[in-house]
Copies of this chain bind each other. A is one copy, B any other.
Amino acid sequence: MFAQRVPEEVSLDDVAEAAGVSRPLVYRYFPGGKQQLYEAALRSAAQELEGCFAEPLEGSLTERLSRAVDRYLAFVDQHDAGFSALLQGGSVIETSRTTAIVDGVRRAAAEQILDHLGVRNPGLKLRMTVRMWITAVEAASLIWLDEGKEPPLDELRDWLVEQFVVTVVATAGRDPQTASVVKAALAAEGADGVVGTLGRRVLPVIGDAARLL
């Protein structure tokens, strides 16, 4: 219920009715009332979302990232109203505990990505780059919900993965650790993969800039 409605529109009576139990029974398990119920629901959603990030260490990095982003966007799609209410900020239901739960999900996402990049001791610039992209994905998700889920999920997914590729490549120009990660990742890419497709689409746009090199 907290996924499909804003917290203000969920009452303990609704929850009791949906669960087929009495209101006092809900209070017996959740003496803190709606706030406690909300935090429990949020913890459960956070766990489900972290599960979306898990991905075997096989295939090209962009294929793995595509699958994880696809599951993430499906989660956002299914939890739309709650996701917006929580992340837009200023919600009555927001506390230091809910913020900590959300930050835990962000940390889990960053750790998964760094694991897949094969980096054991990520330096500042690589960590910053990964966190910047994760925040950008959140921002894109909120706008996506706001705009009636346009562009379609598949297109948004591919676009977000492309954004990851270019953001890491830009950092590679300033950071040797990121540069070696990028080189290794590119070697595993196929011509029909995200990087090849992106390159073929972008080259005609930036071709004239070759004079700057």
- A interface vs B, CB < 8 Å? 88-90, 94-100, 102, 124-125, 127-128, 131-140, 143-144, 147, 150-151, 155, 159, 162-163, 165-167, 169-174, 179, 182-183, 186-187, 189-191, 193, 195-196, 198-203, 205-206, 208-209, 211-213
B residues in contact with A100, CB < 8 Å? 90
Answer whether A125 and B139 are a contact pair too, CB < 8 Å, given A89-B99, A100-B90, A212-B196.
Answer: no
B residues in contact with A88, CB < 8 Å? 99
Give complex CA distance A208, B195 in Å. Answer: 12
Copies in the complex: 2
Give complex CA distance A183, B151 in Å. Answer: 23
Q: How far is the CB of A205 from chain B (nearest CB, A)?
A: 5
Give complex CA distance A159, B208 in Å. Answer: 23
B residues in contact with A191, CB < 8 Å? 211-213
Answer whether A169 and B202 are a contact pair too, CB < 8 Å, given A89-B94, A94-B89, A124-B147.
Answer: yes
B residues in contact with A202, CB < 8 Å? 169-170, 172-173
A150 touches B135 (CB 8 A): no
Give complex CA distance A135, B134 in Å. Answer: 10
Answer whether A171 and B159 are a contact pair too, CB < 8 Å, given A89-B89, A151-B124, A189-B209.
Answer: yes
What are 17 inter-chain pairs, A to B, with CB distance below 8 A? Answer: A90-B96, A124-B147, A124-B150, A125-B159, A128-B140, A128-B144, A132-B136, A134-B139, A135-B136, A159-B171, A162-B173, A166-B169, A172-B205, A190-B212, A191-B213, A199-B209, A199-B213
